[in-house]
Amino acid sequence: MTETDRYKQAWQDRRSRVFSVLAMIVIIFACLKMWPNDLLLAGSVLGLLLAGWRLYDFRCPRCGDRFRSTLDWLNFWSHRHCQNCNLEKDTVPKEPRQ
């Protein structure tokens, strides 16, 4: 696997984590509207929390630290750079990993 492939795979993994969070939000709203079952709703909220933690725990492909170093919920979706090495989201750096 080349370095470029490794970065592409990491960014694809991040996109799947974002999708899982959004899917859980949709499921929660479906549970509230269509299937008002408390157990199903509680399971969906737990799933959302786990998906959110998985997204937060995403590691930067360049430095290996968390891409998001803080849990700033107001700014959670807008960060486009790694909080540690400043790697821009969805990019493959020209310099090799150190």
How do residues 7-51 score in pLDDT, each as one tens digit?
A: 999 999 999 999 999 999 998 888 888 877 788 888 889 999 999
Q: What is the DSSP string of 26-60?
A: HHHHHHHHT---HHHHHHHHHHHHHHHHHHHTPBP
For the chain, the domains span: 3-75
- Kindly report the average pLDDT of the chain as a whole number: 83
Residue 6 has which token pair?
A: 């490794």
Residue 85, pLDDT above cutoff 60 = yes
pLDDT of residue 50: 94
Residue 5, pLDDT above cutoff 60 = yes
Judge whether 66 and 57 are in contact, CB under 8 Å.
yes
Is the overall model pTM greater than 0.75, yes or no?
Answer: yes
